[in-house]
Amino acid sequence: MIEIYLFINPLGSICYHTEKQILDFVESGSKKIQFRFIPLVNLRTIGDLMKREGIPTTDIKKRNHLFETIFSASLDYKAAQLQGKKKGRHFLLRLQEAVGCHGKAYSKKLVEELIVDTGGDLEMFLEDRESEFVKEAFYSDQQIAREMDIVQHPSAVVYNFSYNKDFGVLVEGKAAMSDIFELCQSPETIYDLLDEDYFNQKNKRQVGTNGHSLHLI
């Protein structure tokens, strides 16, 4: 069995395309794969987004606006998930497509339209959206990210139990996302290489592979 944890920007186009690739990979393959798309919001992700969009990192007003918007979208996603994982993912993809890919402004109206368009119960969503349970679910996600040393999105942690290894591999950044699929189907020698590096260099958790960033966790 394989487990994939993908840490994402709920409004980002890069994460949208990565999610689509993972969904296509899971649906087209024969391996048993469990996966989670986990919203991530922290000072590093907001700072990275500001740099990517050419916003001065000293602009506190825009920094706060970005944080509040992505935080709000994360709660939207967590609330939508309560109506089923598939509906939650469908809503997430539609939201990212609208805002991240097509440049629509994030708003409560847009969110409500997408909930209805994706077959959700709007009244139930609005009630769940204001609940403490949804906030706690979001904070639980952030705790998972901290425990896995996640600091940017997209980042993914892959556990491939097919090779009887007791560690996951963390891949970070857009350029490294293709490594997810190699880790799901590559021969055991890749894991032997990572395992050997881990034990030989106990204080060094980073492993360079083709210029990408791989970490043992």
CB of 150 closer than 8 Å to CB of 7: yes
Q: pTM for this one?
A: 0.86
pLDDT grade for 41, boundaries at 50, 70 and 90: very high
Q: Is the pLDDT of residue 12 over 90?
A: yes
User: How much is the average pLDDT of 115-144?
Assistant: 97
Residue 159 pLDDT more than 90?
A: no
Sorting pLDDT into bands at 50, 70 and 90, what band is 190?
low
Compare 153 and 189 and report the one with higher pLDDT.
Answer: 153
* List of domains in the chain: 2-147 (3.40.30.10), 159-216 (no CATH)
**Residue 141 reports pLDDT greater than 80:** yes
pLDDT the model gives residue 85: 94
pLDDT band at 210 (very low <50, low <70, confident <90, very high): very low
Q: Are the CB atoms for 168 and 34 separated by under 8 Å? A: no
Beta bridge mates, 37: 6
Higher per-residue pLDDT: 212 or 164: 164
pLDDT > 60? residue 74: yes
Average pLDDT over residues 42-48: 93
Residue with tokens 């119960």: 121
Q: Comparing C-alpha atoms, which of 110, 112, 133, 131 is closest to residue 122?
A: 112
* Amino acid type, 31: K
pLDDT, tens digit, 9 for 90 and up, residues 96-118: 999 999 999 999 999 999 999 99
Single-letter code of the amino acid located at 35: F
Closest residue by Cα to residue 100 from 60, 64, 69: 69
Q: Which residue has the tokens 């598939």?
A: 86
pLDDT at 73 over 90: yes
> What pLDDT is attached to residue 114?
98
Q: Phi/psi zone of residue 168: left (φ > 0), alpha (ψ -120 to 50 degrees), beta?
A: beta
> Residue 182: what pLDDT?
82
**Token pair of 172, please?**
């970070």
Residue 64 has which token pair?
A: 């706060």
Average pLDDT, the chain: 86
Asked if residue 174 has pLDDT above 50, the reply is yes
- Judge whether residue 212 has pLDDT over 60: no
Q: What is the pLDDT of residue 89?
A: 97
